[in-house]
Each structure stands twice: as structure tokens, then as C-alpha cells.
Amino acid sequence: MEENLSGLTARETEGLIRDAGRSLQAAFNALHRSFDTYFTELHSQSERSLQEALSPLGPLYSQNTRLYGDLYNDLRQYYRGSALNLDETLSEFWSRLLERTFKSSVPTEVSLSEDYLECVAKQQETLRPFGDVPRDMRAKVIRAFVTARSFVQGLAVSGEVVRKVSQVSLSVECTKALMKLVYCPHCRGMSSVKPCSIYCSNVMKGCLANQADLDPEWQNLIDTMIQVVASFSTEPSLDVVLSSIPARIYQAIHYQQENMDTFTARVYQSCGTPGGNRHRKSRPPRAEEEERLADGLRVQTLAHCRAQAGDAGIGPLQ
């Protein structure tokens, strides 16, 4: 009889724990699906709006659709948990874009080597051809994607923790204590009498001692999730950041096109003229003028010396 009651108590308690865990796990899973759908749709809408925002650029858009697509693909992979470094990813995008825009600005008959284009790309940080857009966009995009990824991963981890913790295997001592808690009143003919809450709490603490050890870590996880949720209220919001990416790229390219002459001149100073030696700096006009004057002076001096030598009967100077 006692063994039957012990087994019944264990099954009932384990079932109650699993049911409570399933309810909490379902809540986390529902939040995960809801947020993932929301963020994924924001990302897709932003990518779909690329053509409308960048088509006025003509070939700079139509011939570089893969470049823009790669950016969105990298952002998507990061959100899904890839080990990509977002800062490096965005820097690489702007460097590649700079190569394309500069290449389109020079005459078609001018050949630009890979080394020369690499030199051009390295001017991004110093010359800032796209203005403040890359720096501003990088800060906002990184914040948005780090927050979104942290939140969606936190929801997934929380649900998995609940699932594993709910798979309780009760010890023999726990089963006996539960049997006394639940069925002792029945044996005395007082089935309607319920045990006091303190007694129930103490028994369950003993049965779930291992799970209770996780409480500090669980609280840390929940506190972190609350902080992440609070960061969603920081302006600009996620939807604003994602939806503005195409417009910011357009602004950056437009800024460069308006200042292309100045940028090109500074590139020539740093990288040399296309077709010349890489990193060979263009000589300033003043230096070239001084050299021409020096050459002229040397010619005049030599001619004067030859004339004097002839008058003195000295053989011709070489």
C-alpha cells in the first residue's frame, strides 16, 4: 500500500512540475516566434526597399546589387547567431562600395589595378568620402542587431532551461516526504484537511534542491532580459534603424558624388595617378615649376661657360 501511494505521489508531482514547465516554456516559445517574425519582416522590408531608394543611382545600383545583397545577408546571418564581427562587416561594405564608386568616376579607358583600388579603399577613414553616414549608421545598426540577437537568443535559452529543469526525477526520500504530505490525512480519515503552506514549501524545497541551486543564475538571466527589453525603447527604434538603411546608403553615395573632385584629387596625392606606381604621390605644381627653373638655369650656366672657354682658347666643354 505504501509503495503504491509513493509511486502515485511521484507520478502526480512530476506531472504537475512538467505541466507548469510546459506552460512557461510555451510562453517563452511564443515570445520567441513573435519577435523573430517581427524582426525578420523588418529586415526583409528594408531589403526590398533597396531598389526604390537606390535606383536613382543608375549603374551604381544596378551593377552592384550583389554588394548590397551581401550586406543584408551578413546582417541576417549575424542575427541568426553567426560569429561575424559586425564592425568589420560594415567597414568591409563601405570599403568595397568606395572601390565601386571611385571606379565608376574615372574615364573608362583608365585601368585601375587591384592594388590601386585597395589603396583607394584605405582612404575611407582618413578622407571620409561618404561623410558621417558610415560612422553614424555603424553605431545604430550594431546596437540594433546586438540587441535583437541578444533578446531572441535569451528567449530561446530561457525556454530550453525551463524544459530541462522540468524533467525532474524525484529521489526516494522526496517521494516518501511527498506521500506523507499528501496521504497522511487520508489514513486518519481527514482527507479534506490540507497541509499548511510552510510544510508544503519545505517538502518541495527538499525535492527540488538541485533546481533551487539554479535560482541565482535564473534571476541573472531574467534581469538581463529585462535590461535588453528596456533598451528597445532607446531612440532610434529597431524599425527606424532597419528601414533607414537604404536611405542612408543613398545619402552616403550622393555626398561622395557631390564631392568627388575633391576626393579624387586627395586620392591622387595619396595613391598616385591611375596607371602610375602605387602610392606614388603626385608632385605639387610648385615643385614641378621649381625643377623647370632649375633645369633652365643649368642650361644657361653651361652655355655661358662654353662661351667663356671658347674666348680663352680652351677646348669645347662637354
- Give the tens place of pLDDT for each residue, 207-218: 888 888 888 899
Mean pLDDT confidence for 127-156: 95
What is the Cα gyration radius of the chain?
37
Q: Write the pLDDT tens digit of every residue in 18-61.
A: 888 899 999 999 999 999 999 999 999 999 999 999 999 999 99
3-state DSSP assignment of residue 19: helix
Mean pLDDT confidence for 100-125: 87
Give dist(CA 318, CA 316) in Å, integer: 7
pLDDT of 317 over the 70 cut: no
Least confident window among 88-92, 125-129, 193-197, 248-252: 193-197
Give dist(CA 302, CA 58) in Å, integer: 59
The pLDDT-based confidence of 303 (bands split at 50, 70, 90) is low
Looking at the chain, the whole-number percentage of residues with pLDDT higher than 70 is 84
pLDDT of 302 over the 60 cut: no
The per-residue pLDDT of the chain, averaged, comes to 84
Q: Per DSSP, which regions of the chain are E strands?
A: none
Sign of torsion over alpha carbons 271, 273, 278, 280: negative
The pLDDT-based confidence of 280 (bands split at 50, 70, 90) is very low
pLDDT of 316 over the 80 cut: no
